[in-house]
Amino acid sequence: MKAILAACCAITSTLSVTTPAASQTNALIGEEIANFTRETDTFNLENNAGLLAGLQLGVERGTIRLYSLSVTFGNGRVRTVEPDRLLRPGAPPFKLSFSDKGRRIASVAATYRTLRRESKKRAIVSLRGITQTSNTYRPSQYSNAVTIDLREGRAAIRPSQESQPLRFLQIEVGRRDVFVQHITVTFANGDVKRFDLNRWVDEGKRTPRLRFDAPARRVRQVAIATRPSQSRDISRFTLHTQRLERPDRDTGRFASNDRRAPLGDG
């Protein structure tokens, strides 16, 4: 099957922080929809100039059995592993680590299938590249993403537990143009705020900034309602926002960038 999403040109773009203590970040390389029969999909990284410390393969919908993962490095050498394990949404993904200095990857071939008895629909499989980062500073930009089947007409993004109070949100659309009806934000204290958009958002573009009433609020979930499609295409929504914290030079702790305004009750 041809890769649904092209390999990222820069592996350091649209990063999602795993944990500050781990000093690692991961970025999406590509995604596939797995069949109910055994198949092998290839993710090409020819345009990626970055070095990877490892790979992470997981699922965002459905359950798969991962039979094997074959990595072709930039020097032509091949490393193949056969984990033969089940992968489900929310469960730990399969990780393959390289040297601490990182390796250049040319392509990755994964063999798997959707388990029909445990999945109502074909599984969505994602492959991410792991890079080493310094834990001295957190990136000022925060992003998180989710992949949906456009026939479902809805998606939900849950910020990670490490995310700080937010001033605003933006949703970026990937893969294809999507008509966004409304976006509903649920705050940590249970409050709900709905933003009616009713507009097309082109592929690679973002919605306007969705600002909150309070200076900053913690967000539990962002729900996106789209016009249902009859096609089998998938799209990817990425949540973008600005972190409110920066590290203090003396203590190394993170403090709010805006000391003049109190945080919201979310």
Q: Which of 82, 131, 123 is nearest to 103 (CA)?
A: 131
The β-bridge partners of 209 are none
Map out the domains of the chain as residue ranges: 16-132, 141-245
Q: What is the pLDDT of residues 38-94, one digit of tens each?
A: 999 998 886 555 788 899 999 988 999 999 999 998 888 999 999 999 999 989 999
**Residue matched to tokens 């020819």:** 46
How is residue 164 annotated by DSSP? P
DSSP H helix total and E strand total for the chain? 0, 20
* Euclidean distance between CA atoms 56 and 35, whole angstroms: 20
Nearest residue to 245 (alpha-carbon basis) of 218, 212, 265: 218
Q: What is the DSSP string of 70-120?
A: EEEETTS-EEEE---EEE-TTSPPEEEE--TT-B-EEEEEEEEEE-TTT-S
Q: Please state whether the predicted TM-score (pTM) of the whole model is above 0.85.
A: no
Buried b (16+ CB within 10 A) or exposed e, 86-124: ebbeeeebbebebeeebbebbbbbbbbbbbeeebeebbb
Name the CATH code of domain 16-132 (choices 3.90.45.10, 3.20.19.10, 3.40.50.12160, 2.60.120.1300).
2.60.120.1300
Q: Which two tokens stand for residue 78?
A: 């091949």
- Give the tens place of pLDDT for each residue, 96-152: 998 767 888 999 999 999 999 999 889 999 898 888 765 443 444 556 777 777 778
160 touches 143 (CB < 8 A)? no
- The reported pLDDT for the residue numbered 231 is 61
Both structure tokens of 119: 């999945």
Q: In CATH terms, are 16-132 and 141-245 the same topology?
A: yes
Task: Identify whether the C-beta of residue 109 lies closer than 8 Å to the C-beta of residue 29.
Answer: no
Cβ(127)–Cβ(57) below 8 Å: yes
Architecture of domain 141-245: Sandwich (2.60)
The DSSP symbol for 217 reads B
Q: Percentage of residues in the chain with pLDDT exceeding 90?
A: 28
Q: What is the pLDDT of residue 142?
A: 56
